[in-house]
Structure 1
Amino acid sequence: MESTRIHASTSLALMMPRLLFPSRASSLLILNSLFLAVGCGTSAPEVAPRTKTFELDGVVRAVDTEKGVVSIAHEDIPDLMPPMLMDFRLEDLTLLEDVIVDDEVSGLLEVDYDDQSQITRLELVDLVVTRPAPPRPPGADPIATPSPPPTLEPGEAVPDLVMTSQNGEVLRLSELQGHVVVLTFIFTRCPQPEYCPLMDRKFGELAKRIARSPDRADQVRLLSVSFDPEYDTPEVLAEHAQRVGAQPPLWTFAVADHEALREVAAPLGLTYAPMTDQIVHSLSTSVIAPDGTLARLELGNTWTPEELYGQVRQLLDTTGP
């Protein structure tokens, strides 16, 4: 069957591992020019983002026409990410009319890098149905995405979670009772700027605000938990923590195994599916009161460090000595 071409202009993918960042080229002429410009008292020119294009091949696993999202389980993308399941939000919702579950597709990803070789944009710019899904039996029910289980309500106890910290020590969430805990879930190989890297940036800003008051910092713990135990060893987490500026005990990275994560994933609204060669997850950030109960649950990436800092201060003011 002739391939059907779909030109997809997408926003950032919603779900996500290890990036093999290209090295930054340097030029003596450019460096000299920048030196002269700064020496003359003028601002150095902004560095334009570097863009690379990668080919994507995979299978459509879900289509959400209401949200304009298509989920693709893609193959390995050399120099970008291993096989994984990712969600792409399409700006043109009419494109979803030509895509169904089990379609085999190929496409192009445009990726922008800043001068630190960090991804600033990842956009699906072209998508082709290379092999349409086989026809479904007559009378078969339409494929529907199951509803997520209910999450904890504020005031309910948060289940305990056993982890291994970046220092290689066993850490239990229950051991942090007496502190206000801000908990989020990440994995270090996540390539999406608006997912795990964004959580790192937000936690970094939150940590800076809290650290301004040593007394307050003693009463707060920020915890970034990885759900990628196959890769995120304590050594990897320690290196990542140093790279993003996390300093224990205020901000600690840890990793939990799949069995332990299942105990907290649903109650905290974390969509988490352990797979051998794919990682699928949502975003979940919780503020836990000193007594171990849930004070606030944020699903997604729209929360701000200012909002959570206000929640932390409120809890400290109401539960302080």
Structure 2
Amino acid sequence: MTRRLVPVGLRAVALIFPALALACSGREEEPAPPAPAARAEAPVETKEYPLAGEVRGVDAEEAELRIRHEEIPGFMPAMTMPFQMPEGTDFSEFHLGDYVEGTLRVRSRGGVTEGYDLVGLEVVKPAIKPLVLEMTPEGPKLVEPSNRLRPGDQVPDFTMIQQDVTSRKLSELRGNVVVLTFIYTRCPLPEFCPMMDRKFNELSQSVAANPARAGKVRLVSLSFDPDHDTPEVLSKHAAIRGAKPPLWTYATASHDDLAAIAPALGLTFGPRKNEIVHNLCTAVIGPDGRLARLDVGTKANAWTASDMLRTISEALASGGD
């Protein structure tokens, strides 16, 4: 039986467009867009594309629905991407594994995409949902399992290639508090990867003010663009951003390692021809390798250096116990 959801003009955050909130784009091969004045005078054009895919993540706290959608001929390849849902969305209507169909209405002006809405979304094939028993403040409750780590969980090990070309496993940083964020160097939007660079710069200066503490803290900016972000590229980028190893290091990881660590930390990303669509993620890992804090989505770029410094100090004081 089809479970129909009320169409609510599901306005998605346009990850695939550089003008909107959850996408970052490398544009070296793209033609120059029309002049702003000419574009402003052009009429808005709307095209509709059928969208179909499987629900891969439901995050009511971040108001996101992640869909692994099929190829949309003439518009975008198959990929998994999060859609920001409007206030008031009933997330209990969505379940992992549900197969959904809807219409993607894409708006453009003067040949430049301005945004899109996901409308008429229907669950056409409900998933058979495996449930696990979880203890809650209200007592035992059957809930859908989640792949995302929680504070206290062991963070999976992976290998990173650092800006100095050396290889290092995350586990080799045990004994330190590790603050890990994800970026890629070609990201042009100031409120995304460049903002994380600025935040890590400020945080590194705050940590370095106490040499004893600095010796027990490692900041890692991990690129999810290993094909472009080679150690040479990362080294130059680090110099520009003011990163000084060993306190703050840029690194990257293989596609396989990224695929293993990303779901555990709530990171979603996917390459297109000239861009990488992604969300934001910052994790604090205690000296014992267990997760101390995880900020994903809007929270990942909302923290301040003083706020993060308190988390670091608490993790150091606990020693991971």
TM-score range (shorter-chain normalised) is 0.5 to 0.7
Question: Could you say if the C-alpha distance between residues 166 and 127 of structure 1 is closer, same or farther in structure 2, counting changes exceeding 3 Å?
Answer: same
Amino acid at match of 1:13: A
Moved more, 84-93 or 225-234: 84-93
- 1:294 is matched with 291
- 1:216 is matched with 213
Q: Could you report, residue by residue, the CA deviation over 1:117-170 in whole angstroms, capped at 9, with x for unpaired residues?
A: xxxxxxx757699xx99xx9xx94499xxx994311222211111010011111
User: Which residue, 24, 38, 49 being the options, matches 1:16?
Assistant: 24
Distance 1:155 1:107 in 2: 46
- 1:3 is matched with none
Tell which structure's C-alpha radius of gyration is larger.
Answer: 1
User: Which residue, 236, 258, 271 being the options, matches 1:261?
Assistant: 258
> CA offset at residue 242 of structure 1?
1.1
Q: Identify the structure with the greater strand proportion.
A: 2
Distance 1:307 1:128 in 2: 35
Contact 1:180 1:312 in 2 (8 A): yes
Distance 2:187 2:72 in 1: 15
The alignment status of 1:250 with 2:258, answered yes or no, reads no
Amino acid at match of 1:17: S
Q: Could you report, residue by residue, the CA deviation over 1:89-110 in whole angstroms, capped at 9, with x for unpaired residues?
A: 69999xxxxxx8564735259x
> CA offset at residue 258 of structure 1?
1.1
Distance 1:127 1:272 in 2: 19
- 2:181 is matched with 184
- 1:307 is matched with 307
Question: Could you say if the C-alpha distance between residues 219 and 128 of structure 1 is closer, same or farther in structure 2, counting changes exceeding 3 Å?
Answer: closer
Amino acid at match of 2:293: R
Identity %: 42
- 1:240 is matched with 237
- 2:17 is matched with none
SS in 1 for 2:233: helix
Contact 2:285 2:293 in 1 (8 A): yes
> CA offset at residue 271 of structure 1?
1.8
- 1:169 is matched with 166
Question: Could you say if the C-alpha distance between residues 58 and 19 of structure 1 is closer, same or farther in structure 2, counting changes exceeding 3 Å?
Answer: farther
Amino acid at match of 1:167: D
Contact 1:74 1:85 in 2 (8 A): no
Output aligned runs, 1:50-129, within 5 Å. Answer: 67=63, 101=102, 103=104, 105-108=106-109, 125=114
Q: How high is the TM-score relative to the length of structure 2?
A: 0.62
> CA offset at residue 317 of structure 1?
2.7
Contact 1:190 1:197 in 2 (8 A): yes
Contact 1:14 1:89 in 2 (8 A): no
Root-mean-square deviation (CA, aligned residues, Å) is 5.0
Distance 1:152 1:107 in 2: 39
Provide the aligned length of Structure 1 versus Structure 2: 263
Structure 2 stretches lacking a partner, 5+ long: 1-8, 15-19, 29-34, 74-78, 89-100, 128-143
Distance 1:215 1:160 in 2: 26
User: Which residue, 153, 162, 165 being the options, matches 2:150?
Assistant: 153
Distance 2:295 2:289 in 1: 17
Q: How high is the TM-score relative to the length of structure 1?
A: 0.62
> CA offset at residue 316 of structure 1?
2.1
Distance 2:245 2:46 in 1: 39
The alignment status of 1:197 with 2:194, answered yes or no, reads yes
- 2:223 is matched with 226
Distance 1:162 1:170 in 2: 7
Q: Could you report, residue by residue, the CA deviation over 1:216-267 in whole angstroms, capped at 9, with x for unpaired residues?
A: 1111000011111111111111111111111111000001111011221121
Amino acid at match of 2:21: A
Contact 2:81 2:268 in 1 (8 A): no
Q: Could you report, residue by residue, the CA deviation over 1:63-90 in whole angstroms, capped at 9, with x for unpaired residues?
A: 99x9599999999xxxxxxxx9987869
Contact 2:155 2:290 in 1 (8 A): yes
